[in-house]
């Protein structure tokens, strides 16, 4: 009896001790959780305080620096657009307006421009540039004074105001350019089709041969100005009435030239080259072709664009031709028709038209 009671009492004491341990452990864990929470809270408050006092001002300074760099880059791109349209730096008068109450500076550009400047196109190009920087641009027209103001906003504030003021006091330096394509007989078919489909006043040089007669017919159908390239060989090498040789007498030369003109009807222009000095042969050709109603293009007036196939070099040559047109009023550029040339010419014509240059038909050269 006493053994059983002893066992029951021991069990009760054992379970009671375990229950007390559990209660004590729960209290310890609770205190540990509270302590951990307080430590975490202290760390968060410390980090937040350091963020407010150290990190946030740095972020603001970094953002200000980035804004400054963006504004500078935007300003450079705006100047590039104005230069693309032939607007010179000395036509621009700049003023800074400090709005102290608003806390920012606005740059006012007073820009004198010629009356022929396409202001709508200028505004569109400027808006496209501003959009790339996340800014906005809006134009305000003063119809009475024929002026347009373009306001550029950056981060919600007007940063630039460009006032375009048309006046007869300034004039863009620009001339007339004539373009010709050469080597069309050997050009890729896709490029020939692009040339035929183009409505630009680009003339074509073709060598009068039997194989190029069908191509000339297509050129004539599409209304292209054709220049016949007449080339003298030293002596007759084969019996072809499309070829010229230095040993032809005047009657034979006249017969050959008349044959060429009959087979290439509608051609209005020609130019002559020779492997030797032209001399008397050129004078005879000029007399005969003049009697047949064709006009001579002096080979010395032709400036070749593609002495190099690199686009940058070709663009530089176009710059030279444009500069020549400013001095002489008109200049001629020639390029071999090959893959990508029509796209290149389209881009260059767009570039120079912005500056005020005009691309004219070949006839303008011969009426100067």
**3-state secondary structure (DSSP) of residue 10:** helix
Instruction: For residues 14-40, give the mean pLDDT.
Output: 63
Structure tokens given for 101: 């109450």
Task: Write phi, then psi, for 213 (nearest 5 degrees).
Answer: -60, -50
**CATH class entry, domain 176-366:** alpha beta
The answer to whether 235 and 249 are in contact (CB under 8 A) is: no
Task: Write phi, then psi, for 249 (nearest 5 degrees).
Answer: -75, 175
Helix (H) / strand (E) containing 58: helix 56-84
Helix (H) / strand (E) containing 158: strand 157-166
Task: Please state whether beta strands 226-233 and 244-245 pair in parallel, antiparallel, or not at all (unpaired).
Answer: parallel
Per-residue HEC secondary structure of 221-236 comes to HCCCCEEEEEEEECCC
Residues above pLDDT 70, as percent of the chain: 79
User: What pLDDT is recorded for position 68?
Assistant: 46
For the chain, which residues make up each domain, given as ranges?
Answer: 86-166, 176-366
Instruction: For residues 155-180, give the mean pLDDT.
Output: 90
DSSP 288-306: HHHHTTPEEPPGGGEEES-
User: What pLDDT is recorded for position 100?
Assistant: 53
Q: What pLDDT, in 10s, does the model give residues 323-350? A: 999 999 999 999 999 999 999 999 999 9
Helix (H) / strand (E) containing 22: helix 2-50
**3-state secondary structure (DSSP) of residue 36:** helix
> Distance from CA of residue 174 to its chain's centroid?
19
Residue 233's pLDDT band (cuts 50, 70, 90): confident
- State pTM to two decimals: 0.74
Residue 159: which of 89, 73, 88 has the closest Cα?
A: 73
The pLDDT of residue 47 is above 90: no
The overall average pLDDT reported for the chain is 83
């Amino acid at each position: 009896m006493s053994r059983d009671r002893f066992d029951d009492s021991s069990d009760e004491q054992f379970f009671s001790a375990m229950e007390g341990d559990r209660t004590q452990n729960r209290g310890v864990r609770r205190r540990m959780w509270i302590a951990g929470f307080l430590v975490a809270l202290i760390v968060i408050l410390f980090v937040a305080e350091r963020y407010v006092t150290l990190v946030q001002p740095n972020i603001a300074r970094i953002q200000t620096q980035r804004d400054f760099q963006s504004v500078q880059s935007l300003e450079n791109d705006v100047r590039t657009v104005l230069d693309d349209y032939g607007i010179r730096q000395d036509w621009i008068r700049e003023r800074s307006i400090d709005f102290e109450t608003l806390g920012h500076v606005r740059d006012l550009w007073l820009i004198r421009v010629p009356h022929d400047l396409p202001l709508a196109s200028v505004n569109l190009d400027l808006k496209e540039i501003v959009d790339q920087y996340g800014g906005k641009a809006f134009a305000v027209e003063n119809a009475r004074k024929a002026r347009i103001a373009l306001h550029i906003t950056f981060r919600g504030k007007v940063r630039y105001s460009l006032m375009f003021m048309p006046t007869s006091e300034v004039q863009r330096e620009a001339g007339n350019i004539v373009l010709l394509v050469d080597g069309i007989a050997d050009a890729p078919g896709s490029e020939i089709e692009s040339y035929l489909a183009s409505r630009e006043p680009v003339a074509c040089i073709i060598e009068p041969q039997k194989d190029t007669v069908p191509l000339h017919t297509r050129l004539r159908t599409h209304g292209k100005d054709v220049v016949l390239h007449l080339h003298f060989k030293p002596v007759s090498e084969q019996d072809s009435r499309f070829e010229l040789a230095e040993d032809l007498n005047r009657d034979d030369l006249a017969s050959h030239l008349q044959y060429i003109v009959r087979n290439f009807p509608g051609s209005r222009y020609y130019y002559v080259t020779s492997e030797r000095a032209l001399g008397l042969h050129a004078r005879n050709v000029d007399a005969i072709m003049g009697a047949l109603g064709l006009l001579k293009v002096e080979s010395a007036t032709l400036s070749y664009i593609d002495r190099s196939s690199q686009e940058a070099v070709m663009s530089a040559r176009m710059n030279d031709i444009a500069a020549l047109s400013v001095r002489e009023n008109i200049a001629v550029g020639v390029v071999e028709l090959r893959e990508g040339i029509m796209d290149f010419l389209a881009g260059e014509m767009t570039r120079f038209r912005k500056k005020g240059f005009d691309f004219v038909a070949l006839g303008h050269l011969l009426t100067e």
